[in-house]
Amino acid sequence: MVQLLRLLADGRFHSGEELGRLLGISRSAVWKQLRQLQIESGVRLCSVRGKGYRLEQPLSLLSADFLAKRLPNVRLRLEERVDSTNATALALLPDILPPFLVMAEAQTAGRGRRGRQWVSPHGENLYFSQLIRIERSVSQLQALSLVVGLAVLRTLRQAGVAGVGLKWPNDLLVGTKKIAGILLELNGDPADICHVVIGVGINANMLTADGIDQDWTSIRLETGRLVDRNELAASLVEALERCLSLHREQGFAAFHEEWEHNHAWHGCLVRLTNGVSEITGTVLGVTVDGALRLAVDGGEQVYSGGELSLRLQHDS
């Protein structure tokens, strides 16, 4: 069925006879596999008598050959379907020397922060996890999600997305609509040796979706054209490499001004919650350590932590 999907990825009509000949199976077997393909991958097919079958929308599928040539120094694991790329990267840790990268065509249990679901339709978006090793350097963890956010921001702008901004600590927005998110997961002791999975989800070619409980958009919706997911992935790897290298050398201070300049909610009235308590304040920016600065009751307060959630005050 993987071969069948790749044959149909161009979005054009292909006859059952043609598909059967290319796959070495009968036309009836093609029909059965098409039905199974819709069930397992969730793709939508059109069929027209005399023309054959096509996908409702073309897909840009990942190519191991392209990525290997474009990123010759990157250890890459490309999967068809995983529960989540972050979980897969952590499971591979005993067998593959970091740094390495895991990408997938689809996730069955994609995750965002605080256990939220990350909707992951087959072949439409970028599901990306890079695992890195950090030795005795807590400073390399400082504001890491904000640094990754800048790498994603640069990648989105390179892809033609205008008006994209950063939401503390790990989302990217176009206006009020989410286009990408970051999930960092740590394994080990930050004071000794630890590994960090940098998980990135980018809405690339998604046009419709069920199960998303907030406003969202995609590169395709913003630009009006199909995104080459291989180019997008390669651009993200290159942007991350540059940002992580500078972060190792100079820390978040090297990015502070750029992050502040691209802060989507600067000056906005927000609600900050940790699941129990709630604080209302006006966003002043971030510190050189990456913590959030809020004006609260006439004074300035600073907040940091992985379980904090930030919302606009008027957003229910």
pLDDT digits (tens, 9 = 90+) for 8-22: 999 999 999 999 999
Instruction: Name the E strands within the chain.
Output: 45-48, 52-55, 76-82, 100-107, 126-135, 164-167, 171-174, 177-188, 193-202, 269-273, 278-286, 292-296, 299-303, 309-312
Q: Is 44 marked active-site?
A: no
Query: What is the residue-averaged pLDDT of the chain?
Result: 91
Instruction: Name the E strands within 59-175.
Output: 76-82, 100-107, 126-135, 164-167, 171-174
- d(CA 13, CA 50) in angstroms, rounded, equals 10
pLDDT score of 1 more than 90: no
Q: Is 113 marked active-site?
A: yes
Highest mean pLDDT among 89-98, 110-119, 148-157, 189-198: 148-157
State the pLDDT confidence band at 73, using cuts at 50, 70 and 90: very high
Q: Is 178 marked active-site?
A: yes
The residue from 113, 154, 167, 220 that is catalytic is 113
State the pLDDT confidence band at 117, using cuts at 50, 70 and 90: low
Q: Can you give the pTM of this predicted structure?
A: 0.91
Q: Is 107 helix (H, G, I), strand (E, B) or coil?
A: strand
Beta-carbon-side half-sphere exposure of residue 63 (alpha carbons within 13 Å):
15
Q: Is 39 helix (H, G, I), strand (E, B) or coil?
A: helix
The residue from 77, 154, 167, 178 that is catalytic is 178
User: Per the structure block, which two tokens stand in for 160?
Assistant: 């033609």
